[in-house]
């Protein structure tokens, strides 16, 4: 339900914990797939990119979102920010249900929600100087006067480690790491409380990745930012995140505090992910290699029952018939797996 606050803005009355900045409830985002037959009127398939995701991100914390390519991580981030409108479910940001708001009602909230894109070159307009790129959000939301723009742009560039003297240069005149710093400065310009980092280091050299990760960690502590950090790099996720959610084919299969998940993963898919990274990264026990066979099923026609049942080395008959719910196997550690849940019930 929605009510109107004192400032005239819609406000959710749903009971969301005040310490939770972002809350997803059964989020679904589907896209039209290819036609079933040769002719256009033969009907279309549906790509279930995100299929019932629920999670919370608390104020001042970072949630790492990991999984194989195509599992729906980026779509979760874009649906959360309403860059892609969800098919179903609810997205609460600071107790307001974004899915119930029109574009006009979303406009003032966009100032407090920003995104850092994966490709630092494609996300910048090659025709605009970086000074203009950083200042655009300031001017759109009328956060500074025209006379204050240059001073604020210089301040933001210093914050992300760029020389303000370069404000009149174009994106092609910078390295990949510098362009990503421009993207971070642009995201910070509107003083957001929440930022989605959509694989912000995957297009960078390894040495530059470390610099960007350290910059994000420093900024989060200094500005009390709340982050959704989407990445393939499990080492970066472990370093930066307070908790981690593991996705497989549009669903969350495991979520826990970072140390707990890396020390004692529960879901077979999480075991496989951690086992694919060099063992020196964490304990030998958590890195036991799990060999997966077969390919990831298509989100157009996912398997019945548990989506991971076609590749799981511990599959049981019930796994092929029913979908496991995401339940708390241990305090603060949720898993969607019949094998784990049965073991917990037996204990």
Give percent of the chain above pLDDT 70: 87
DSSP E strands, the chain: 2-4, 10-12, 20-35, 44-58, 62-66, 88-93, 96-97, 113-116, 194-198, 226-230, 243-248, 251-257, 327-330, 333-335
Write 200-203 long-range contacts (CB < 8 A, 24+): 200/116, 200/117, 200/118, 200/229, 200/231, 201/231, 201/233, 201/236, 202/118, 202/231, 202/232, 202/233, 203/118, 203/119, 203/120, 203/176
Tokens 């079933």, residue located = 36
CA 260 to chain centroid, in Å, comes to 20
CA 229 to chain centroid, in Å, comes to 5
| Range 224-239 average pLDDT | 93
pLDDT of residue 9: 41
**Does 270 or 295 have the greater pLDDT score?**
270
Least confident of 19-23, 158-162, 312-316: 312-316
**Secondary structure of residue 165 in the 3-state scheme:** helix
Largest CA distance in the chain: 68
What global pTM score does this model have? 0.88
**Secondary structure of residue 343 in the 3-state scheme:** helix
pLDDT of residue 7: 38
**Does 3 or 141 have the greater pLDDT score?**
141
| 20, 193 Cβ separation under 8 angstroms | no
pLDDT of residue 120 exceeding 50 = yes
Token reading at 336? 């969607």
pLDDT of residue 115: 96
Domain ranges within the chain, ordered by starting residue: 2-33+44-112+192-346
pLDDT of residue 235 exceeding 50 = yes
Superfamily of domain 2-33+44-112+192-346: P-loop containing nucleotide triphosphate hydrolases (3.40.50.300)
pLDDT of residue 102: 94
Q: pLDDT (tens digit, 9 = 90+) per residue, 165-224?
A: 999 999 999 999 999 999 999 999 999 999 999 999 988 888 899 999 999 999 999 999
Q: pLDDT (tens digit, 9 = 90+) per residue, 245-282?
A: 999 999 999 999 999 999 999 999 999 998 877 655 44
pLDDT of residue 278: 65
């Amino acid at each position: 339900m929605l009510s109107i606050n004192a400032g005239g803005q819609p406000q959710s009355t749903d009971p969301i914990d005040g310490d939770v900045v972002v809350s997803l409830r059964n989020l679904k985002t589907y896209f039209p797939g290819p036609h079933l037959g040769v002719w256009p009127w033969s009907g279309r398939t549906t790509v279930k990119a995100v299929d019932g995701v629920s999670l919370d991100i608390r104020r001042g914390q970072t949630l790492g979102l990991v999984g194989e390519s195509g599992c729906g991580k980026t779509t979760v981030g874009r649906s959360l920010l309403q860059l892609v409108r969800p098919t179903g479910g609810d997205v609460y940001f600071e107790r307001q249900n974004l899915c119930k708001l029109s574009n006009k009602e979303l406009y003032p909230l966009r100032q407090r929600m920003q995104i850092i894109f994966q490709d630092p070159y494609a996300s910048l307009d090659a025709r605009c100087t970086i000074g203009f790129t950083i200042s655009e959000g300031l001017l759109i939301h009328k956060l500074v006067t025209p006379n204050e723009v240059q001073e604020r742009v210089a301040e933001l560039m210093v914050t992300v480690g760029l020389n303000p003297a370069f404000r009149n240069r174009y994106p092609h005149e910078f390295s990949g790491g510098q362009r990503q710093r421009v993207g971070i400065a642009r995201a910070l310009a509107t003083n957001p409380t929440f930022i989605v980092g959509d694989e912000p280091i995957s297009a960078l050299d390894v040495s530059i990745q470390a610099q960007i990760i350290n910059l994000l960690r420093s900024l989060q502590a200094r500005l009390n930012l709340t982050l959704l950090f989407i990445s393939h790099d499990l080492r970066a996720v472990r370093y930066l995140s307070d908790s981690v959610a593991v996705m497989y084919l549009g669903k969350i299969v495991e979520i826990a505090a970072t140390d707990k998940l890396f020390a004692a993963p529960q879901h077979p898919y999480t075991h496989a992910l951690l086992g694919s990274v060099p063992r020196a990264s964490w304990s030998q026990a958590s890195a036991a290699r799990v060999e997966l066979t077969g390919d990831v099923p298509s989100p157009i026609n996912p398997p019945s029952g548990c989506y991971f049942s076609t590749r799981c080395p511990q599959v049981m008959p019930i796994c092929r018939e029913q979908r496991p719910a995401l339940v708390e196997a241990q305090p603060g550690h949720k898993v969607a797996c019949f094998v784990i849940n049965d073991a917990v019930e037996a204990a």
